Structure formats: structure tokens, C-alpha cells
Chains A and B, each alone.
Chain A
Amino acid sequence: EAGVAQSPRYKIIEKRQSVAFWCNPISGHATLYWYQQILGQGPKLLIQFQNNGVVDDSQLPKDRFSAERLKGVDSTLKIQPAKLEDSAVYLCASSGDHNEQFFGPGTRLTVL
């Protein structure tokens, strides 16, 4: 079974630029999560989708972050414009019927 795929693996941008991350969950998983993991901290949930609907986006900074999951499969997370404090690893995870989350390798974002 293929795991959760994410791209790119690494991204370096300057502040005020825009960036987008892509995630392909495990086939058949209805729930998709985006997390932000700042160095030295645990992952923080940004947004959770159930199929193509948003379940929780209470910690998503909506003035600069957006996410979509068209057709209930792939998802993109966008930051526009980026700030220095957005430097982090962005993790995508998916889950099926048993609540276990399967994580992708993450995208390491550096904002200069």
C-alpha cells in the first residue's frame, strides 16, 4: 500500500513570497490533516478535512493560509504572503476508519 505523498520535500523562499504544498493521501482515506511542526515543538493541527469538507480549521491563520481538497482526494496548502515565523515542517496525514493517522514525509519550509 502506497503511503502519504507530499511535495516538494524542501522549499526556500523569501518573506512576502507565496508557496504551495501538495499532499496525496492513502487511497480510500476520507480524513486528511495538515500540521505545522516548528523546530522543537510537536505538530500543530492547521486544518482537517473529511472528504472535501472542512471539519476543523480553528488554528489556521486564515489571513495568509488557505487549503483545499477538491474532489476529496489530493489537497494543497498555500501560504500567501509568507512570514519568517512560517519556517517549519508541514506534515500531511490521512486516516481511514480506525483513527490511526498515517503521515507523509513532510515539507521543510525555510523563509528568509
Chain B
Amino acid sequence: AQSVTQLDSHVSVSEGTPVLLRCNYSSSYSPSLFWYVQHPNKGLQLLLKYTSAATLVKGINGFEAEFKKSETSFHLTKPSAHMSDAAEYFCVSQNTNAGKSTFGDGTTLTVKP
């Protein structure tokens, strides 16, 4: 069985400051890990993915995430938040070879001017 825990349901940062969205996973195998973003009234969009290659993964819009097997974590970071980053973020674990996907409950990111 696999599970995903997003440790913060809400994160609020000021524009221009760093962003950290935390994700821990539990899996009996080496999963693929993803971060998706969901803006209001828009579909889910892939930010980045880890599939057992480099442990530091760079995504779109300046986001990156680091896979740490020893900590079973896949935290999402960005050096400097922009107002347009305000959205819901989901961490996803997937059994390799297009297996079942498990979503975390999401983290709402608010960016203050």
C-alpha cells in the first residue's frame, strides 16, 4: 500500500520569499513521485516528476524538489515566490509502470504582496 502526507494544509508566504511545501510518502516499493498545481477553476498541471534518475528535480516556473529516500520525503521548493504561484499543490505517488496513483490532500499556497 502507498500513502502520501502533505504536512501543511495551508502555507502563506510574502512575495519574493522562499516557498517550502512538504510531502512525505510511504511505499513498499520505489515509487514515481510528482507535484501538480491546481489554479482556481483550472485543471491540474504537472510541475515536476521524479522517476529514479537524479534526486534533485527541476520543474516549471522555478520550482524544484528533492527526493530523499532516507527521509521518505519529496519537498517542493522555490527560491522566490510570485503572486501567480498562489494555488493548490498536490504531491502524488505512483507505482511504477503506470500503476495506481495516490494523491495527498493538498497544500494551499497563499502569496502576500
List A residues at the B interface (Cβ < 8 Å): 3-4, 31, 33, 35, 40-45, 48, 50, 55-56, 58, 91, 93, 95, 99-106
With CB as the reference atom, state the residue of chain A lying closest to B4: A42
With CB as the reference atom, state the residue of chain B lying closest to A108: B41
Bound: A44/B49 CA distance, A: 19
Q: Which residues of A contact B94 (CB under 8 A)?
A: 99
Interface residues of A: mostly helix, strand, loop or mixed?
Answer: strand
B100 contacts A56, CB within 8 Å?
yes
Contacts known (A41-B105, A99-B49); A91 close to B44, Cβ less than 8 A? yes
A42 contacts B103, CB within 8 Å?
yes
Q: Which residues of B contact A44 (CB under 8 A)?
A: 103
Bound: A6/B81 CA distance, A: 32
Interface size on B, residues (CB 8 A): 23
Scan residues 24-55 of chain B and give those whose CB is less than 8 A from a CB of chain A: 32, 34, 36, 42-46, 49, 51
Bound: A100/B92 CA distance, A: 11
Q: Mark B91-113, 1 if CB is under 8 A from A, else 0.
A: 00010101111111110000000
Let me know if B67 is at the binding interface, CB within 8 A: no
Bound: A3/B42 CA distance, A: 13
Let me know if B90 is at the binding interface, CB within 8 A: yes
B100 contacts A100, CB within 8 Å?
no
Bound: A21/B93 CA distance, A: 26
B105 contacts A100, CB within 8 Å?
no
Chain A nearest CB: distance from B44 CB in Å?
4
A33 contacts B101, CB within 8 Å?
yes
B43 contacts A95, CB within 8 Å?
no
Contacts known (A41-B106, A43-B90, A105-B43); A50 close to B98, Cβ less than 8 A? yes
